[in-house]
Amino acid sequence: MTDATSTRPGINWLNLVFLLGTFLAALVSTPWYLIKYGLGWPEAVTFLVIWLFVGLSVTAGYHRLFSHKTYQAAWPVRLFLLIFGAGALENSVLNWAADHRVHHSHVDEERDPYNIQKGFWWAHMGWIFFENETPNPSVVRDLTEDPLVVWQDKYYALIGIGVAFGIPLIVGLLTGHVLGCLIIGSLLRVVVSHHGTFFINSLCHMVGRQPYSTEHSARDSPIMAVLAFGEGYHNYHHSFPFDYRNGVKVWQFDPAKWLIWTLSRVGLARDLRRAPDAAVLKAKIEVQFERAKERLQEVVHDFREHHEAQLHEAYTRLQTTLHELLSLQRRGKARPVPAGQEHLPLETRIGLTYHALEEALREWKQTLRQMNRLPMAATA
Ligand SMILES: [Zn+2]
Ligand SMILES: [Zn+2]
CA of 321 to the centre of ligand 2 (A): 31
pLDDT reported for residue 342: 60
| 113: number of Cβ within 10 Å | 19
Dihedral of CA 96/99/103/108: which sign?
A: negative
- Please provide the size of the chain in residues: 380
> Phi and psi dihedrals of 269, rounded to 5?
-140, 150
pLDDT tens digit at each of 380 positions of the chain: 334 444 667 899 999 999 999 999 999 999 999 999 999 999 999 999 999 999 999 999 999 999 999 999 999 999 999 999 999 999 999 999 999 999 999 999 999 999 999 999 999 999 999 988 888 889 999 999 999 999 999 999 999 999 999 999 999 999 999 999 999 999 999 999 999 999 999 999 999 999 999 999 999 999 999 989 999 999 999 999 999 999 999 999 999 999 999 999 999 999 999 998 888 999 999 999 999 888 888 877 777 778 888 889 999 999 998 888 888 877 665 455 566 666 667 778 788 888 888 898 998 898 888 887 877 776 54
**From ligand 1's centre to the CA of 311, what distance in Å?**
32
Nearest ligand, measured from the Cα of 113: 1
Q: Please tell me the distance from the alpha carbon of residue 18 to that of residue 12, in angstroms, as a whole number.
A: 10
What pLDDT does 334 receive?
45
Residue 200 Cα to ligand 1 midpoint, Å, equals 7
Tell me how far the alpha carbon of residue 104 lies from the centroid of ligand 1, in angstroms. Answer: 7
- pTM here? 0.88
Question: Within 13 Å, how many C-alpha atoms sit on residue 313's CB side?
Answer: 9
Q: How far is the CA of 224 from the centre of ligand 2 (A)?
A: 15
Q: How far is the CA of 277 from the centre of ligand 2 (A)?
A: 20
DSSP 202: T
Residues 6+ apart with CB under 8 A from 30: 183, 184, 187, 188
CB-based contact 88:197 (threshold 8 Å): yes
Choose among 331, 380, 323: nearest CA to 357: 323
CA-based end-to-end distance of the chain: 50
Q: What is the reported pLDDT for 378? A: 62
pLDDT of residue 299: 77
Identify the nearest ligand to the CA of 68 by its number: 2
Q: How far away, in angstroms, is 368 Cα from ligand 1 center?
A: 30
Q: CA 185, 186, 189, 194: dihedral to nearest 10 degrees? A: 170
Q: What residues contact residue 180 under an 8 Å CB cut-off, 6+ apart?
A: 33, 37, 39, 40, 42, 43, 172
Q: In one letter, which amino acid is 373?
A: R
List, in sequence order, every residue forming a beta bridge with 130; answer none if it has no partner: 11
Residues 257/230, Cβ–Cβ less than 8 Å: yes
Q: Which pLDDT value is given to residue 298? A: 81
Task: Calculate how far, in angstroms, residue 135's C-alpha sits from the geometric centre of ligand 1.
Answer: 16
Q: Tell me the C-alpha distance between 2 and 181, whole Å.
A: 49
| Distance between Cα 201 and ligand 2 center (Å) | 10
Query: How far is ligand 1, taken at its centre, from the CA of residue 196, in Å?
Result: 13
> What is the model's pLDDT at position 1?
38
Q: How far apart are CA 82 and CA 154, in angstroms?
A: 12
How crowded is residue 2: how many other Cβ atoms within 10 Å of its Cβ?
7
Q: Where are the domains of the chain?
A: 3-270, 277-373
